[in-house]
Structure 1
Amino acid sequence: MWKPVRGVVLALGLTLPVLAGAQTPAAGQGDPTFERCLQAIALSAREQGIGAEQLAPLLAGLSPDRSVLALLDRQPEFTTPVWDYLAALVDTQRIDDGRQRLAEHAGLLQSVEAAYGVSAATVVAVWGVESDYGRVFGQRPLLQSLATLACEGRRQAFFRSELLALLRLLAAGDLSAEGLTGSWAGAFGHTQFMPSTYARIAVDGDGDGRRDLVASIPDALASTANYLKRSGWRSGQPWGVEIRLPAGFDQRLAGRSKRQPLSQWRALGLRLHDGGPLQVAGIADTDRAAVILPAGRTGPALLVFRNYDAIYSYNAAESYALAIATLADQLQGLSGFSTPWPTDDPGLDRAQRRALQQLLLARGHAIGQADGMIGSATRRAIQLEQQRLGWSTTDGRAGRKILAALQAEAGGGN
């Protein structure tokens, strides 16, 4: 998300120093409204103590990337069925890779767990979900994305504060702007902190005097544990358990904010999923818990505790929190949910997605590489195949049914 930037920028009448030999046009040139917004941001940055000579190379040459604006209302945590979301993020490959990271960084993770009380598996699960263990940081130049969101679209005040936080981090020397990329919304690094969270929470895990969550795995993992601790993580407690609801359970009692003591849930007839009494190691009868039904009454029913809330605070979406929680469980050898998701067309893991894309390529669809990433080209190709097969639903979704249908036609079975 970062591009090398050079040149000059004006800040509401304050001329920032011209770098020697700079020839690049001023920031936002050709877009007066965007340029005025950057000038105002530069003035705010100067008022917060960032020197003009530091701002010049950071803001010069920026232009808006309006493709990020459309993503404000299309976050996958809120638009993807939970079974698709978990199938993609909690798959065999991510579990195997996570167990390798647990072994590879055992000494570091032991120190982090001792310092912050957060289980190593949970820290590694966040790492796995957020960046695939450091493989995928996001490809958008971070300054450009945040500058665009700070100047256009909704939530400008929020993104302006994030841009200013990032400028402070860069000016302080924790990070280098050269090549710095992240998500469309401004999260970056191994565990995808937003800049303001970075400024508040990041710690120096490797002792080099800097907090670099991009280049330092110790900094990133220790900072993640610090975040969860400060969000209320309770050492030695589970995030939640799968439960069995009594007949006639009032679904109005469900919801993450509708918490009752464990003893009260027991009195209402809740039991563990295997039918055993509602007793949970590490949880006292007075500890408050909530029932969540991520797919409604016919899907898995879960009783979640304080540690679930800590995970949820990292990215306030039910699917996201469940991905972290269930990946952490499976990294420790625990099983997934016993109750199946209420769908006759389950989601695909990455290996299955790649297999589907290979079948689409073989049928002549120009979708690029079979990388397991379901983008607009793959969805359009699936939609065309659904239409060809005469299906009543042609939504372009990558599920088991379309994979099985194309495998059968190719003679590959299921």
Structure 2
Amino acid sequence: MQVVFASARSAWHLTVMITRRILLAAAPLAGCAASPSNNAPAATAALPAPVPAASPGAEPEYLPVASVPFDRFVEGVKTEGRRRGLSQNVLNTAFAGIRPNQRVIQLDRRQAEGGMAWEEYRDRIMVSPTRVQNGRRNYTENAALLRRIEQRFSVSPSVIVAIWGVETNFGGNTGGFKVVEALATLAWEGRRASYFRNELFAALKILDEGHIRNDRMAGSWAGAMGQPQFMPSNFDRFAVDFDGDGRRDIWDDKADALASIANYFNRNGWRAGEPWGLEVIPPSGFTLDGADTQTRRPMRDFARMGFRAGNGGPLPTDRPEAQIVLPSRGAGQVFLGHHNLRVIRRYNSPVNYGLAVGLLSDRVA
């Protein structure tokens, strides 16, 4: 038992970054302000807005650091786009009338760092009664589609619905920024120019391939798109045309959107039929500061150490190996996480996000 509790590692003391999904989860629309990561939730309860809106006529707090005028930058992108084989018509349409979006720059510079406790984030934002109720309704209404998706991708329908719920409130909040304008702004202003320039060309490729019209390509302030909130480069890798109409439409086509989430999980190693984890009651003498959160062990080992299931019963020892998982800024809740929890966190890395998606998937099913 000593080896479990004596670790000096304390990775769970890290402050949670409220990433793109958490920000959108926390502020229903609020300009759909989201930040890039792996993908931006709508919410039933709101956090304080991460960036106060500028008063009319006020100077923006953050000015671009770009070394060239925006118009010249756009012309350079068009020139490179033509070299990449993009059509002139698509380029002209995509960049018609766009300007640097100062709100995008503000949000990029002032991404909030987390002060929200795990319990509040869990109960008010991610696994609220309203979200659970809506999740169950959407799970039932789309049962036939979800079964077909599961047959093809071997991913649990409940986790698909949970991701759909926390990312965009079941498709109801996919973002209000023009994706090309947002990405062009971020690529031009310079702070992360290379990353966003690549995402900009990935977005232009989506338009060139005809998957979505330019006027429908809306998303978060960082360019995360559609019901799954994929960045454009992830669209290229993971979006699928599930209904066979020749377009991968993750904005307006529910079948494509949900199947694309499933494909993401499938390609990232989801293990069919395995659980993500469970809440546990630790044995006497367990301390959060000394917990070994790195070592993976058979469930029978945790049972021998005195861990019990969250309901007070014995641990299910027939489950895969697990490791201790502690919520960031939590008040003492303890989980054992399996391989599929790590897969959930490949969609969006914060530990609290992964745990909340897991809990929501259990409740919607």
User: Could you tell me which residue of structure 1 aligns to residue 281 of structure 2?
Assistant: 244
Equivalent residue in structure 1 for 2:107, among 55, 68, 71: 71
Distance 2:168 2:331 in 1: 32
Work out which of the residue numbers 4, 20, 42 in structure 1 matches 2:78: 42
Matched, 1:309 2:342: yes
Aligned residues of 1:254 and 1:291 also touching (Cα < 8 A): yes
Partners of 2:183 and 2:78 lie apart in 1 by 14
* Corresponding residue SS for 2:148: helix
Pair 292,76 (structure 1): closer, same or farther in 2 beyond 3 Å:
farther
Quote how far apart the aligned CAs of 1:304 are: 0.7
Which among 114, 136, 142 is matched to residue 179 of structure 2?
142
Q: Where does the alignment leave 5 or more consecutive residues of structure 2 unmatched?
A: 1-30, 32-66
1:131 aligns with 2:168: yes
TM-score, normalised by the number of residues in structure 2: 0.75
Change (3 A) 1:88 1:275: closer
- Whichever of the two has the greater Rg, that structure is 1
Distance change in 2, residues 1:43/1:262 (3 Å): farther
* Alignment-derived partner of residue 191 in structure 1: 228
Question: 2:211 touches 2:248 (CA, 8 Å); kept in 1?
Answer: yes
Q: Distance in 2 between matches of 1:240 and 1:279?
A: 11
> In the alignment, what sits opposite 2:139?
102
Which residue is equivalent to 1:204? 241
Separation in 1 of the partners of 2:74 and 2:220?
21
Between Structure 1 and Structure 2, how many residues are aligned?
300
How do 1:142-221 and structure 2 match up within 5 A? Answer: 142-221=179-258
Deviation per residue, 1:33-84 (Å, 9 max, x gap): 3223323322332232212232111123221112223323655684533233
Shift of the alpha carbon at 1:258?
4.7
Q: Which of residues 87, 90, 98 in structure 2 aligns to 1:54?
A: 90
State which drifts further: 268-277 or 192-201.
268-277
SS state at 1:237 partner: coil
Deviation at 1:296, TM superposition (A): 5.5
Cα distance in structure 1, aligned partners of 2:344 and 2:169: 17
**Conserved 8 A contact 1:77-1:320:** no
Equivalent residue number for residue 375 of structure 1: none
Q: How much does 1:275 deviate?
A: 4.2
Letter matched to residue 237 of structure 2: R
1:80 and 2:116 equivalent? Answer: yes
Q: TM-score, normalised by structure 1?
A: 0.67
Contact 2:131–2:165 (Cα < 8 Å) also in 1: yes
Instruction: List per-residue Cα deviations over 1:245-281 (Å, max 9, x = no partner).
Output: 23333645444x5544445544544332344443355
In the alignment, which residue of structure 1 is the partner of 2:150?
A: 113
- Match of residue 368 from structure 1: none
Q: In structure 1, how many angstroms separate the alpha carbons of the residues matched to 2:142 and 2:223?
A: 27
How far 1:325 sits from its partner (Å)? 1.4
- Residues 67/81 of structure 1: CA separation in 2 closer, same or farther (3 Å cut): farther
Cα contact 1:78–1:317 (8 A) shared by 2: no
The 5-angstrom pairing of residues 331-342 of structure 1 reads 331-332=364-365
2:327 aligns with: 294
Name the CA distance, whole Å, in 1 between partners of 2:182 and 2:298.
44
Call closer, same or farther: CA 1:84–1:68 in 2, change over 3 Å. farther
Contact kept? 2:116, 2:329, Cα under 8 Å: no
Q: Which runs of 4+ in 1 moved over 6 A?
A: none
Alignment RMSD (CA, Å): 2.6
- Counterparts of 1:368-379 in structure 2, within 5 Å, are none
Aligned-pair identity in percent equals 39
SS class of match (2:278): strand
What whole-Å deviation, never above 9, does each CA across 1:138-161 have from its counterpart, x for those lacking one?
A: 111111111111112522211111
Letter in 2 for 1:67: R
